[in-house]
């Protein structure tokens, strides 16, 4: 068998590994190798590959025998480079044994420092460094760390303290020392003896003195730490496969604890919170390794380094520039200063907020460090939310938590911050808002009839429902702050109170009490915290700020401009009011993909005639009621057409079952009877008749339009009259009438014929025509399977993936709280299929529909208007299917634009792989060719769905708090 390379050395300005070998060397190993290669000062060492870790687990958690000679040989190289000897009593080489997986798992696995010390080598270390204190300080640190990590000296019970910590504390007390550094050398020597005795007492073993034995045990312990509880939990949370294993890097120690000219630190090459191009980090003088993170002493800011150590500050600044130039991304680094010399110990791409991600990507592209395409690929689309949301003041939140005002947690359905007086009824929300109050609507759940109250509220809060519940959906569409599924809440609607079950017992809130909700964190806080709208919103929507004075907005706009150039998919909005249409256009909508007419029926003055229509006993009565609705709908449509300025508008005919429009409470029924001149008995009978055993599968969608063609006809008339009216004003209009829930060609034929007849009639009356189309939603499996014949009648398809997911899985969206949650917890579903399209099932039906539909009509326009249209992984899938557009909530448009661009760029990169050695030119061009390639690849149905690389991590469901 050919020998497989298992150990990669680095140091002395070169390395056997490099940055592209993360799979084998782990992120840390690849990072130190690369830094050696580019001439940064890195202590020499070697990395044992992840393959060895895999073999370690296969072989009963023992280091494979044949690895040892390689370790010894690699160690000899380190000795040669440092001029020190491992185990030498004269000038000992000490090493660290470090863990490092393919992807960083910060703090999850173990590391041992100062390995190679024993009673003989410590003397050599003291003599060579001429610093006895430093030598013994290192020794006692080593005993504690090795005891903990390798020998398993853990506290006996969870509530106990670390056994070495207890001994150290006792020693400090005996010497009247506050800090470790105040202990005399004699005490450090005693600590070593006492630590070893404690090991003997607890474990019955002698502390190993032989450095080679220490090293093997250290390597094995780091491999074992891949399987500790913390690491397993982290892997599960981040969908990291257990098979990967960790690499082990053995590296010569450098010492930040050698005195006042030494130190250690961590830093980001740019500010990770806001992205500012400034060196951001902390350091400690005379300290080692974990001290900075452990918070034993308060570290100093990097910016203070220059005052104290100008030469080191300059070296560090050089390293920062070099690393950024080389990695072309913001780096998170660890460094140690040993007697005035700077050593780098780690580099990786740094985690950042959405705000920082955008700023860094844009500024790096502007500086030609990366191309514009790369900038577009750098930002996680979901992170853009961060730039849109109003925010709570951090300090105010902390104060509230300190004061015990954090009441409960729920699912963060609508990110952002909102404060207001709590009300429990939608009407109240409207009425209070009208008199100038700021309100938060809290309810057990919400329904379409609450829509106006929801709009009036700053945000809403429900006890019931999941991330795709009505409240959550409306929150995204309206850009409202919302928390749903907050199970600690219970309501007494009569008493107008809400009770929150808190850790300290029940807390009762009355109507009008102030609450604050953080829809990003899912926190419900008592009282009012101050908020401000984000800069982007101030410019785009509120128009209270000039773009020129809004740098965050400018970066946002720039990045999205680049994204727009790269994408092939168009983006549209789901919007059903003129003001939502205006917001959509501001966020870049190229049309409306779904205008839900039922929301309009709840608008001012419309619910009355709607109900009249429903309780009507004869066709004539029904027509009379519809005649009242006609002008109201017409006005809504005209408003939307105007707001959309010639962009296409897809209007869906009535969809929900009629019972949703009727009152359920006795007062409402009496009132309805009075208003319509019907008997209460009749109204009640009608309500009973309309009761749906299963509203999801009931009398709804095109079924309603087939039972009551006059409703479809009234809606069609309103649409075409509005279109003609707006066209007469000289504006362009593009109505697209969409029939919901079609499963058979004849259903669509029936409805399309009515719509077309009305269109012709209106055009004849007005003596003018407008261009229009009639299409269908594909949202039941039969519709997808029969897409071929349906396309003979349809001008376009739009996937209603909410219903298509419900009907394909046979699971109701309202069951998310129970079934779905347990399925996700048990790993039966990897992701919530209502959030991210299930490519294997629902996705296959979509592919079938695209294929069959376009076989009938090659130019069939196809889009998606389910909630998935704003989910990055689903957008990518739509790109791969060759859809024409995705439609999503207005506030998700930026996400969809960016996700669509990334899908196109990734596809292009897969088709034309760039040689890894040569970074892409930073000129931001290549768009034309890219677009051509995309078009060529966009043949529907031929490309198999590729799993997105990070699908599982990105689409993790939000855990219930």
Q: Which residues form the interface with Mg ion (CB under 5 A)? A: 334, 346, 779, 800, 803
- Nearest approach in angstroms of CB 304 to ligand ADP is 19
For residue 36, state whether it binds ligand ADP (rule: CB under 6 A).
Answer: no
323, with CB counted inside 10 A (0-12, 13-18, 19+), is buried
Segment contacting ligand ADP by CB under 6 A, of 106-114, 188-196, 401-409, 692-700: 106-114
Rounded Cα gap, residues 927 and 938, in angstroms: 16
Residue 844, contacted partner among Mg ion, ligand ADP, none, CB below 5-8 A by kind: none
For residue 506, state whether it binds ligand ADP (rule: CB under 6 A).
Answer: no
Instruction: Please count the residues of this chain forming the interface with ligand ADP, following the rule CB under 6 A.
Output: 16
Q: Per-residue DSSP letters for 155-222?
A: -SSTTSPPHHHHHHHHHHHHTT-SSGGGS-HHHHHHHHHHHHHHHHHHH--PPP--HHHHHHHHHHHH
CB environment 393-415: b (16+ within 10 A), e (fewer): eeebbeebeeeebbbbbbbbbbb
3-state secondary structure of 295: coil
For residue 653, state whether it binds ligand ADP (rule: CB under 6 A).
Answer: no
Of the pair 779, 867, the CB lying nearest Mg ion is at 779
**Does 492 belong to an annotated binding site?**
no
Active-site residue, selected from the candidate residues 470, 599, 659, 879: 470
Of the pair 107, 310, the CB lying nearest ligand ADP is at 107
Rounded Cα gap, residues 921 and 789, in angstroms: 48
Segment contacting ligand ADP by CB under 6 A, of 235-243, 245-253, 406-414, 608-616: 245-253
Among 78, 113, 384, 559, binds ligand ADP (CB under 6 A): 113
Q: Tell me phi and psi for residue 224, to 5 degrees.
A: -60, -30
For residue 253, state whether it binds ligand ADP (rule: CB under 6 A).
Answer: yes
Q: Give Rg (Cα) of the chain.
A: 33
Among 11, 17, 27, 43, binds ligand ADP (CB under 6 A): 43
Rounded Cα gap, residues 516 and 397, in angstroms: 10
Residue 803, contacted partner among ligand ADP, Mg ion, none, CB below 5-8 A by kind: Mg ion
Among 345, 614, 638, 786, binds ligand ADP (CB under 6 A): 345
Residue 102, contacted partner among Mg ion, ligand ADP, none, CB below 5-8 A by kind: none
Residue 111, contacted partner among Mg ion, ligand ADP, none, CB below 5-8 A by kind: ligand ADP
Segment contacting ligand ADP by CB under 6 A, of 252-260, 486-494, 562-570, 925-933: 252-260
Residue 800, contacted partner among ligand ADP, Mg ion, none, CB below 5-8 A by kind: Mg ion
**Does 235 belong to an annotated binding site?**
no
- Nearest approach in angstroms of CB 75 to ligand ADP is 14
Distance, CA of 465 to chain centre: 20
Rounded Cα gap, residues 77 and 89, in angstroms: 19
- Nearest approach in angstroms of CB 164 to ligand ADP is 17
Segment contacting ligand ADP by CB under 6 A, of 140-148, 246-254, 583-591, 841-849: 246-254
- Nearest approach in angstroms of CB 776 to Mg ion is 11
For residue 336, state whether it binds ligand ADP (rule: CB under 6 A).
Answer: yes
CB environment 788-823: b (16+ within 10 A), e (fewer): bbbbebbbbbbbbbbbbbbbbbebebbebbeebbeb
- Nearest approach in angstroms of CB 334 to ligand ADP is 4
Segment contacting ligand ADP by CB under 6 A, of 105-113, 516-524, 714-722, 846-854: 105-113
**Does 802 belong to an annotated binding site?**
yes
Other beta carbons within 10 Å of 664: 11
**Contact (Cβ atoms closer than 8 angstroms) between residue 817 and residue 463:** no
Rounded Cα gap, residues 272 and 355, in angstroms: 9
Helix (H) or strand (E) holding 233: helix 229-238
**Does 446 belong to an annotated binding site?**
no
**Does 51 belong to an annotated binding site?**
no
Active-site residue, selected from the candidate residues 702, 865, 878, 888: 865
Rounded Cα gap, residues 603 and 576, in angstroms: 11
Number of helices followed by number of strands (H, E) in the chain: 38, 34
User: Which of the residues 471 through 490 are near ligand ADP (CB under 6 A)?
Assistant: none
Beta-bridge partner residues of 419: 516
Residue 345, contacted partner among Mg ion, ligand ADP, none, CB below 5-8 A by kind: ligand ADP
- Nearest approach in angstroms of CB 560 to Mg ion is 29
- Nearest approach in angstroms of CB 257 to ligand ADP is 9
User: Which of the residues 263 through 292 are near ligand ADP (CB under 6 A)?
Assistant: 289-290
**Does 373 belong to an annotated binding site?**
no
Of the pair 137, 334, the CB lying nearest Mg ion is at 334
**Contact (Cβ atoms closer than 8 angstroms) between residue 491 and residue 442:** yes
Check residue 940 and report its DSSP letter.
Answer: T
Tokens (6 digits) for 391: 């925010």
Beta-bridge partner residues of 499: 490, 508
Of the pair 481, 594, the CB lying nearest Mg ion is at 594
- Nearest approach in angstroms of CB 246 to ligand ADP is 10
Other beta carbons within 10 Å of 508: 11
Residue 43, contacted partner among Mg ion, ligand ADP, none, CB below 5-8 A by kind: ligand ADP
**Distant-in-sequence, close-in-space partners of 204: CB < 8 Å, separation ≥ 6:** none
**Does 825 belong to an annotated binding site?**
no
Among 346, 584, 653, 874, binds ligand ADP (CB under 6 A): 346
Q: Which of 269, 479, 480, 237 is nearest to 356 (CA)?
A: 269
For residue 111, state whether it binds ligand ADP (rule: CB under 6 A).
Answer: yes
Cα-based distances in Å from 358 to 55, 327, 565, 949: 42, 17, 17, 21
Of the pair 289, 410, the CB lying nearest ligand ADP is at 289
Of the pair 443, 572, the CB lying nearest Mg ion is at 572
- Nearest approach in angstroms of CB 861 to ligand ADP is 51
**Contact (Cβ atoms closer than 8 angstroms) between residue 503 and residue 517:** no
SS3 content of the chain, % helix, strand, coil (to 5): 50, 15, 35
- Nearest approach in angstroms of CB 701 to Mg ion is 7
595 as an active site residue: the answer is no
Of the pair 335, 424, the CB lying nearest ligand ADP is at 335
Rounded Cα gap, residues 939 and 190, in angstroms: 75
Of the pair 271, 776, the CB lying nearest Mg ion is at 776
Tokens (6 digits) for 150: 């390798």
3-state secondary structure of 341: strand
926 dihedral zone (left: phi>0; alpha: psi -120 to 50; beta):
left
Rounded Cα gap, residues 959 and 953, in angstroms: 13
Segment contacting ligand ADP by CB under 6 A, of 149-157, 247-255, 552-560, 915-923: 247-255
Tokens (6 digits) for 225: 């730490």
For residue 838, state whether it binds ligand ADP (rule: CB under 6 A).
Answer: no
For residue 96, state whether it binds ligand ADP (rule: CB under 6 A).
Answer: yes
Of the pair 520, 653, the CB lying nearest Mg ion is at 653
879 as an active site residue: the answer is no
Residue 96, contacted partner among ligand ADP, Mg ion, none, CB below 5-8 A by kind: ligand ADP
Residue 253, contacted partner among ligand ADP, Mg ion, none, CB below 5-8 A by kind: ligand ADP
- Nearest approach in angstroms of CB 105 to ligand ADP is 8
**Contact (Cβ atoms closer than 8 angstroms) between residue 719 and residue 637:** yes
Rounded Cα gap, residues 75 and 671, in angstroms: 89
Rounded Cα gap, residues 389 and 387, in angstroms: 6
Distance, CA of 448 to chain centre: 28
Give binding residues for substrate as ranges.
Answer: 596, 652, 779, 800-803
Catalytic residues: 470, 865
Q: Which residues are annotated as a binding site?
A: 596, 652, 779, 800-803
Interaction site with ligand ADP (CB under 6 A): 43, 96, 98, 107, 111, 113, 251-254, 289-290, 334, 336, 345-346
């Amino acid at each position: 068998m050919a020998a497989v390379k298992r150990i990669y050395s680095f140091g002395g300005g070169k390395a056997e590994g490099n940055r592209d070998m993360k799979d084998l060397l782990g992120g840390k190993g690849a990072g130190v190798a690369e830094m050696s290669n580019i001439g940064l000062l890195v202590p020499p060492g070697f990395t044992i590959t992840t393959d060895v870790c895999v073999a370690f687990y296969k072989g009963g958690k023992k280091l494979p025998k044949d690895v040892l000679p390689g370790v010894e040989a690699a160690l000899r190289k380190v000795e040669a480079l440092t001029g020190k000897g491992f185990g030498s009593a004269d000038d000992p080489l000490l090493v660290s044994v470090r863990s490092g997986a393919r992807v960083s798992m910060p703090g999850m696995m173990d590391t041992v420092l100062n390995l190679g010390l024993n009673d003989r080598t410590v003397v050599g270390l003291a003599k060579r460094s001429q610093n006895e204190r430093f030598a013994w300080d290192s020794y006692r640190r080593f005993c504690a760390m090795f005891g903990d990590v390798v020998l398993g000296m853990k506290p006996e019970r969870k509530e106990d303290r670390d056994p070495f910590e207890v001994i150290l504390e006792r020693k400090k007390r005996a010497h009247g020392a506050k800090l470790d550094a105040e202990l005399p050398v004699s005490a450090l020597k005693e600590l070593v003896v006492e630590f070893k005795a404690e090991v003997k007492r607890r474990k019955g073993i002698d502390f190993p003195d032989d450095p080679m034995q220490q090293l093997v045990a250290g390597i094995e312990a780091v491999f074992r730490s891949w399987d500790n509880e913390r690491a397993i939990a982290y892997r599960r949370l981040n969908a990291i496969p257990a098979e990967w294993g960790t690499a082990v890097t053995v590296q010569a120690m450098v010492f930040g604890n050698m005195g006042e000219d030494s130190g250690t630190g961590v830093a980001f090459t740019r500010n990770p919170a806001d992205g500012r191009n400034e060196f951001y980090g902390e350091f400690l003088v005379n300290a080692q390794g974990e001290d900075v993170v452990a918070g034993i002493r308060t570290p100093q800011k990097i910016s203070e380094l220059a005052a104290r150590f100008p030469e080191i500050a300059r070296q560090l600044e050089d390293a920062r520039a070099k690393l950024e130039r080389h990695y072309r991304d913001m780096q998170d680094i660890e460094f140690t200063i040993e007697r005035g010399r700077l050593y780098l110990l780690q580099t990786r791409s740094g985690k950042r907020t959405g705000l920082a991600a955008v700023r860094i990507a844009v500024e790096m592209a502007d500086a030609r460090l990366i191309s514009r395409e790369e900038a577009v690929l750098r930002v996680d689309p979901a992170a853009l939310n961060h730039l849109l949301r109003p925010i709570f003041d951090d300090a105010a939140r902390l104060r509230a938590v300190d004061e015990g005002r954090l009441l409960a947690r729920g699912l963060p359905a609508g990110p952002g911050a909102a404060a207001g007086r709590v009300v429990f009824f939608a009407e109240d929300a409207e009425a209070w808002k009208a008199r100038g109050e700021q309100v938060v609507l809290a309810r057990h759940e919400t329904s379409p009839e609450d829509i106006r109250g929801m709009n009036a509220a700053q945000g809403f809060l429900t006890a019931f429902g999941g991330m795709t519940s009505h409240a959550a959906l409306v929150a995204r569409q309206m850009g409202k702050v919302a928390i749903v599924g907050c199970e600690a809440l219970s309501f007494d609607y009569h008493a107008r109170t809400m009770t929150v079950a808190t850790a300290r017992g029940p807390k009762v809130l009355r109507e009008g009490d102030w609450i604050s909700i953080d829809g990003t964190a899912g926190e419900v806080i008592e009282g009012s915290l101050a908020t401000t709208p984000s800069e982007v919103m101030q410019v785009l929507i509120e128009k209270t700020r000039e773009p020129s004075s809004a740098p965050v907005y400018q970066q946002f706009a720039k990045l999205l401009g680049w994204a727009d150039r790269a994408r092939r998919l168009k983006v549209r909005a789901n919007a059903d009011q003129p003001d939502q249409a205006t917001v959509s256009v501001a966020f870049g909508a190229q049309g409306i993909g779904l205008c839900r007419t039922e929301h309009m029926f709840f608008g001012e003055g419309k619910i009355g005639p709607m109900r009249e229509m429903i309780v009507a006993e004869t066709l004539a009565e029904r027509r009379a009621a519809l005649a009242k609705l006609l002008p109201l709908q017409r006005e809504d449509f005209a408003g939307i057409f105007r707001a959309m300025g010639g962009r296409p508008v897809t209007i869906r005919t009535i969809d929900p079952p009629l019972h949703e429009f009727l009152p359920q409470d006795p007062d409402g029924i009496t009132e309805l009877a009075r208003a319509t001149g019907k008997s209460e008995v009749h109204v009640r009978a009608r309500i009973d008749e309309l009761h749906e055993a299963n509203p999801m599968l009931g009398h709804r969608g095109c079924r309603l339009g087939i039972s009551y063609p006059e409703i479809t006809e009234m809606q069609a008339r309103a649409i075409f009259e509005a279109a003609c009216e707006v066209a007469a004003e000289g504006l362009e209009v593009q109505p697209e009438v969409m029939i919901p829930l079609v499963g058979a060609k004849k259903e669509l034929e029936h409805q399309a014929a009515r719509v077309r007849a009305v269109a012709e009639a209106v055009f004849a009356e007005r003596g003018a025509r407008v261009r229009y189309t009639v299409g269908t939603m594909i949202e039941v499996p039969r519709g997808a399977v029969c897409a071929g014949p349906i396309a003979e009648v349809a001008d376009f398809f739009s996937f209603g993936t909410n219903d298509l997911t419900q009907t394909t899985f046979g699971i109701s969206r309202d069951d998310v709280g129970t079934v779905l949650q347990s399925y996700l917890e048990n790993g039966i579903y990897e992701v919530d299929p209502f959030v991210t399209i299930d490519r294997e099932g629902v996705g296959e039906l979509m592919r079938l529909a695209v294929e069959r539909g376009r076989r009938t009509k090659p130019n069939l326009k196809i889009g998606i208007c389910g909630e998935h249209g704003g989910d990055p992984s689903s957008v990518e899938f739509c790109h791969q299917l060759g859809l024409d557009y995705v439609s999503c909530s207005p506030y998700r448009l930026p996400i969809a634009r960016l996700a669509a661009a990334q899908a196109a760029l990734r596809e292009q990169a897969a088709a034309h792989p760039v040689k890894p050695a040569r970074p892409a030119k930073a000129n931001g061009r290549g768009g034309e060719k890219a677009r051509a390639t995309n078009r060529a690849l966009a043949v529907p149905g031929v490309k198999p769905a590729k799993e997105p690389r990070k699908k599982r991590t990105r689409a993790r469901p939000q855990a219930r708090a």
